Copies of this chain bind each other. A is one copy, B any other.
Amino acid sequence: MDAWWRAANYLAVGQIYLLDNPLLREPLRREHTKPRLLGHWGTAPGLNFVWAHLNRIIRERDTDTIFVAGPGHGGPAVVASAYLDGTYSETYGDIDKSTDGIRKLFRQFSFPGGIPSHAAPETPGSIHEGGELGYALSHAYGAAFDNPNLLVATVVGDGEAETGPLATSWHSNKFIDPERDGVVLPILHLNGYKIANPTVLSRIPEQELCELMRGYGHTPYVVSGGFDSEDPRDVHERMAATLDDIIDHIAQIKAAAAAGTLEGRPAWPMLILRTPKGWTGPQVVDGHPVENNWRSHQVPLASVRDTEEHVQQLHDWMASYRPEELFDASGAPREIATALAPEGDRRMSANPVTNGGLLRSPLRLPDFRDYAVDVPNPGETTSSATGALGEWLRDVVRDNPDNFRIFGADVTASNRLSAVFDVTDKQWDAGFLPIDSDNHLARAGRVMEMLSEHQCQGWLEGYLLTGRHGMFNSYEAFIHIVDSMFNQHAKWLEGSTTIPWRRPMSSLNYLLSSHVWRQDHNGASHQDPGFLDLVMNKKPDVVRAYLPCDANTLIATYDHCLRSVDKINVVIAGKHPENNWLDMPDAIEHCTRGIGLFDWAGTEVVGQEPDVVLACAGDVPTLETLAAAQILRERIPELRVRVVNVIDLMRLHSESEHPHGLSDAEYDALFTTDKPVIFAHHGYPWLIHRLTYKRAGHANLHVRGYKDEGTTTTPFDMVMMNDLDRYHLVIDVLERVPGLMSRHAAFWQEMQDTRLHAQQYTREHGEDMPEVADWKWISV
């Protein structure tokens, strides 16, 4: 045990400091060290300690275990462990078990062209980056769902534990099914410090901390040691004994669950591990305490290139691990250092669960065409788009009972996906009442709802990263709560897709409903379509944004998304009954193109250029655009109007910038190079400019969209407040098509007056005027 740990610590320190002389076979000199010392030492000994002890458990009990390193900044530790158990050399052949291999291992760390300083997609055995703290337990639980035999050992930094997402993720234990899901073992690592401060949880009385953990529903176990120069071997002993107790306790719960004798929710064990930050590192550097202090967080000896003293201290530190005992003459780790490693796939670095694509099998998807809503003619019927999707999702759930889950923050019903509750329940183990038969709650179910967008996102990520499928439905505005998690997942994909041994994983699918234009009970706080702007910042290879215009296009889009891999698909759709425009065959064609003419809606003459293009993206903009087209058709029949609808926003990108981008020729064909284009967009208007600024016709493009005007009001008042309404689109056409205004000034004024009238009507009646509320499309 201790030998493994010493070896892992040695390898961690070596990665941070050494370019050469990796095994100290000659006296350490400044030039052996790296010119830029980058990395985090403080957390490494703790991570290595836990890893070593888990290895013993795995060997003794053959448990299927993976490791989640909350303090993923301890990259050197997880890499060291993967090296010791052999996975690293198997994955990266040139980092072999030799002095030269170790030299390369050291050199590449945080080195240009090498590997990042954190656990990363490059790290075998990792599903968790840990760069942005807060998501360790959510990822862990996501991995545990539907993996009944898996143990997810999860180190939570005591600093990380202060973040909001982590603080609520303890409650995940009320959402896990002891029978059909795996087990998460949280290991709260109280090393006492974060970057430059002590941590809250390390400073409150242990009694209070245990109450907190019991209040979170856990049974806390405590191991504390390594302080005041306590011999680590004593701590090993206590740790081993406690871990045995914990694993026994878990086994009891699992056995009871399997036997059906489990009463109520189990108080799952968790471990509080209190050891010094930077344990076994330098005690004092330049007169400052380092071990058991925040000063050990990054690189304790910052001047090894500059002072002999630091070089000497580094040498003594590394030598204290007795490398000569740990590595043989050729540099290969000796049996004593590696004996603890489990076999094959049981190694935490090699567990296939951590490379989910290996295990992933495609979903069984019912033929979505069977779920088409009936559309005899455009606009003749209405449907709730998400409601219609729900019918198909119901059968997706039914046909994939153990590898597909739907996540939502208490809004799955509000977003009208309730059809799924015909075949499944919301998984819940926080306590049941008789009335819950009415609430679709059960200990096992495919829908996961907790009022935390962070949890939904984190759980889903963990679930996908371990080879399964899922989707997250949210209110559009509140998806910003996980902006940063989206960013991090996108970065993971940007990285993992370039790593050959990482196999493709299921895409992360969003369904954003209750969107900016239809808020009913809520006002400005619930209105924000800006997530799209964030999404567009990520690399084109990994992000997709879809704005289906009606029910059938939503269903066709979602079928595509659930089949895709290595993407983040953002789909925005309404939940209220709205017009259906396309029957399923047309919807399929339209979605496949991602953009196209609604020739049934325009007044073009074959062979001639249109006078104006009305473009639209999103359900409400499509409605307003078609209503505007209809007004124009009635009032200025000679005007040649083209209607273009966009489902796949990425089509607007240049071919060179996004794989879905239209060629300039295609774009010009659709939008013309010189005619006015009035573009009604679901989100902030600038996004469309940003996508099209290089296009020939850009100077003629005039975009309407949300400009942050909102409150609790009627649907049509909302679009009017943002100048996206049909009357304003008509006004835009009149003002932009050369010569039109002067010929139709009275009509222009009428449109202005109609807007005023529509507004006044809402003020008087509290609802939209009938000609808007009851508007119907009349076929050309």
Contact = CB atoms under 8 A, between A and B. Distances in A.
Contacts of A258: none
A439 B198 contact: yes
Contacts of A204: 174, 217, 430-431
Contact of A690 (B217, B524, B690): B690
Contacts of A217: 204, 208
A120 B451 contact: no
A189 interface: no
A711 interface: yes
Interface residues of A, number: 129
Contacts of A713: 111-113
Given A203-B431, A451-B159, A118 B522 contact: yes
Nearest to A212: B215
Interface in A525-555: 525-526, 528, 530, 533-534, 536-539
Contact of A712 (B117, B491, B689, B765): B117
Contact of A449 (B197, B690, B698): B197
Given A131-B522, A168-B162, A198-B436, A35 B212 contact: no
A374 interface: no
Nearest to A174: B200
A382 interface: no
Interface string A510-531: 0000000000111111101010
Closest 6 pairs (CB-CB, A-B): A212-B215, A131-B525, A164-B164, A203-B431, A116-B523, A112-B762
A394 to B, nearest CB: 17
B131 A73 contact: no
Contacts of A268: none
B162 A171 contact: yes
A248 interface: no
A746 interface: no
A196 B481 contact: no
A298 B111 contact: no
* Copies per complex of this chain: 2
Contacts of A171: 162, 167, 200
Contacts of A115: 712
Interface in A688-717: 689-690, 693, 698, 707-708, 711-714, 717
Given A117-B521, A132-B526, 19 more contacts: A36-B767, A40-B521, A111-B766, A112-B759, A112-B766, A115-B712, A131-B522, A163-B454, A174-B203, A195-B413, A196-B411, A197-B451, A199-B451, A204-B431, A208-B215, A211-B212, A483-B534, A537-B684, A537-B686
A521 B71 CA distance: 14
A491 B452 contact: no
A410 interface: yes
A435 interface: yes
Interface string A188-227: 0000001111111001110011111111110000000000
A414 interface: yes
A450 interface: yes
A165 interface: yes
B168 A129 contact: no
Interface string A282-294: 0000001100011
Contacts of A164: 134, 163-169, 452, 454-455
A117 B521 CA distance: 7
A190 to B, nearest CB: 12
A19 interface: yes
Contacts of A438: 288-289
B200 A711 contact: no
A766 B481 contact: no
A200 B477 CA distance: 24
Contacts of A491: 524-525, 708
A133 B36 CA distance: 44
A767 B35 contact: yes
A618 to B, nearest CB: 16
A289 to B, nearest CB: 7
A206 B283 CA distance: 46
Contact of A480 (B133, B195, B487, B767): B487
Nearest to A38: B521
A160 interface: yes
A19 B766 contact: yes
A763 interface: yes
A132 B163 contact: no
Contact of A524 (B114, B203, B495): B495
B525 A163 contact: no
A638 to B, nearest CB: 31
A426 interface: yes
Nearest to A209: B215
Nearest to A432: B203
A713 B171 CA distance: 38
A501 interface: no
Given A163-B164, A214-B215, A524-B495, A439 B197 contact: yes
A81 interface: no
A530 B168 contact: no
A467 B120 CA distance: 44
Contact of A483 (B484, B536, B690): B484
A592 interface: no
12 contacts: A40-B521, A131-B524, A133-B451, A160-B451, A162-B455, A164-B452, A166-B168, A171-B200, A196-B412, A198-B431, A211-B214, A491-B524
A112 B768 CA distance: 10
A516 to B, nearest CB: 12
